[in-house]
Structure 1
């Protein structure tokens, strides 16, 4: 078999029903069959159909517990001026969680779909439990949630908390039944399955990412045809690659537009004070509380988690794929850049960490993409073709503009609200101003646990640094 990423080995229909076992070593990505990637020709990293919306009856207790948390409209435990009735309500719910049975997960392992749903439901319950706790309470995740969550996560090779895939990839359904001729879900025909707050602001925040993922299919298709042309490698192929790169620039600009469209439906203050705190992982908790998984010592097959970052845009396989394909990742991760080795190492470590939060088949896809023996950047540098060079640089700069848009969103949704005084309970904005009390804007933590502003500036600037110049 040819060792290249041709059309037979790049995109394919997914295998969501594949049986999964315990974690294994990294496979030989040069010989993988296409179905191993779980990347669909119509929806990319999103599944072609909505994720399972309810577990089988054996695990109905989990579903009903999550339903109750949502219906009770639990409030964040660190809400200033929180009424005693709200405190009592949330503690009663948490007490019921502590008294749930520890349900077995063996039968969940028969299907990827049920494992995904279990991770989603348990993750949501866990975040409701942790973030409704009083601000001075230790974070001890009770056995009925911690043990099945750890076991399910071990099977999926994911950290035991909510991830981007729980919030975005596997958290959608149709508003109305699609037409039989629809190739992919329409961008305006989506709604979310699960929300913390029930607000349209929260839903639009998730859906803006879902729309980017769906539109990203066009970029994935262009990657495929470019690599097919690279395998041919003649002058005609180079001209076609230049044309496809121009098209990719257009797609990336469309992704930028979709990213900025989050402003149309999600209020920054509501997002920052009412929605974002529910996402926090252990490493983005401003109070630095340690998460204790009760009962973990009872199962010798389980390990104490070391990755506990919340959902982050850095966990989008699509953005990583664009970086890898354009060669921005390798260039940006190079320690040869003057005066930047430590920052570069930090950036590389963060992006490598974020891949651990992706569905494992998507990690395999990125590994396969990285193993391409004819990387695009090397083709461009070796071609001595001005048109190809210009087209490549235009695509890189389009990615830089996408990151500019990300900075705009961060400024609007995080930096701006963090500087405002936070109203107390009973108003539309209910969060305390943690950044005022615990740090400045430059040290703001993203939900992925990194210093948000500094990191994003570095990523953006290093994307520009990947632009090639005439030799």
Structure 2
């Protein structure tokens, strides 16, 4: 990795700043190991501990020299490994850490219910407005997505009980679902308002990646592992990714998209493929259980719609599927704007600086290690293939 991938330690950093950075790491190495006994009584406290520890972990690792060994001091590694074992998620930053559980209210309210315009981030690497905007856009997606989950439950209840007006009820609920999915797209695209693409690529994204995405393939060595015989060395350290959101996988499952056609590629993001299944490991455990239970209903809605041969019902179903395809189009716009475009500019700058061919292309990876363009293309194609004739 070069300095452009480590904005915390650019080539122009002064010797004094480098010394201060190393002095901070030395203080961290000297800290006592805090027990997690009291945290075990609260899932909320465990999640907060995982967030704080993974921010410290990534802040410690990513400014390190690119050619050295990566050893995580026991003051971070042992409590993080123990907290992660309790939560049953890997000891690395996840979507839960920088998005789902990284918000609070700007202003307190009587009921404590969050609204999209009353949110702020809790933790940040840069302190920039851009970073907060990058985190809060998907928070707003998740917040609006709660209504989609309610509509799913309503349809499952209706399908299980049956009624004389079942077709009409499912049709109307699917129309409501389409509206919600369109709102999800708008919330996702709102990141463009306050997050500069080049700043994101150069100064935010490098902090989020895990060991699995390190081109040098250097392992992260967690010191102090031997102090707790119940622990094992971590094998999955991908880093934060939007693919770790249970919401979109839930929509895929419920609309029958996951099982509507052949898998195009073993590394695609379709939920039946290894990449998507691997991303479930990073989800909160209750979200994983929810998806596993929802899997049992993966074709119920689609089979009901296709079996009724009702034009209005099929139109409502196809509108929901189309809205989800448009959400993926929006995701591709974001990926192109924030990763593909900046990465090409950085590659061109580096090539020109070193007198290399500027036309060389490289496979772009997400923070969790997936090939971005291919993954999202497969997502969109698979969603489109779910449309009923």
Q: TM-score w.r.t. structure 2 length? A: 0.91
Q: Which residue of 1 aligns with 2:74?
A: 143
Tell me the CA shift for residue 390 of structure 1: 1.4
Matching of residue 291 in structure 1 with residue 220 in structure 2: yes
Secondary structure of 2:345's aligned partner: coil
Aligned residues of 1:77 and 1:135 also touching (Cα < 8 A): no
Structure-2 separation of matches of 1:267 and 1:233: 50
Structure-1 separation of matches of 2:267 and 2:91: 28
Q: Which residue of 2 aligns with 1:175?
A: 106
Tell me the CA shift for residue 294 of structure 1: 1.3
**Cα deviations across residues 206-250 of structure 1 (Å, max 9, x unaligned)?**
000111111112211111111121123345111110111111111
> Within 5 Å, which residues of 2 pair with 1:362-401?
362-372=287-297, 375-401=300-326
Structure-2 separation of matches of 1:248 and 1:217: 11
Secondary structure of 2:71's aligned partner: strand
Greater alpha carbon shift after TM alignment, 294-303 vs 454-463: 294-303
Aligned length: 380
Q: Which residue of 2 aligns with 1:84?
A: 15
> Within 5 Å, which residues of 2 pair with 1:55-454?
76=7, 78-180=9-111, 184-331=113-260, 334-335=262-263, 340=264, 342=266, 348-372=273-297, 375-421=300-346, 443-454=363-374
Aligned residues of 2:269 and 2:276 also touching (Cα < 8 A): no
Distance 1:80 1:235, change over 3 A: farther
Aligned residues of 1:77 and 1:133 also touching (Cα < 8 A): no
Structure-1 separation of matches of 2:298 and 2:185: 30
Q: Which residue of 2 aligns with 1:468?
A: 388
**Cα deviations across residues 176-216 of structure 1 (Å, max 9, x unaligned)?**
11244x7x312111001110000000001000011111111
Aligned residues of 1:400 and 1:460 also touching (Cα < 8 A): yes
Distance 1:422 1:84, change over 3 A: farther
Tell me the CA shift for residue 110 of structure 1: 1.1
Matching of residue 455 in structure 1 with residue 384 in structure 2: no
Structure-2 separation of matches of 1:243 and 1:176: 36
Aligned residues of 1:167 and 1:206 also touching (Cα < 8 A): yes
Tell me the CA shift for residue 373 of structure 1: 8.2
Aligned residues of 2:46 and 2:83 also touching (Cα < 8 A): yes
Structure-1 separation of matches of 2:361 and 2:84: 33
Structure-1 separation of matches of 2:250 and 2:137: 19
Distance 1:342 1:124, change over 3 A: closer
Structure holding more helix per residue: 2
Structure-1 separation of matches of 2:312 and 2:284: 37
Tell me the CA shift for residue 300 of structure 1: 2.2
Distance 1:117 1:396, change over 3 A: same
Secondary structure of 1:358's aligned partner: coil
Question: Which runs of no fewer than 5 residues in structure 1 stay unpaired?
Answer: 1-74, 425-429
Q: Which residue of 2 aligns with 1:59?
A: none
Structure-2 separation of matches of 1:242 and 1:365: 25
Aligned residues of 1:317 and 1:358 also touching (Cα < 8 A): yes
Tell me the CA shift for residue 381 of structure 1: 2.1
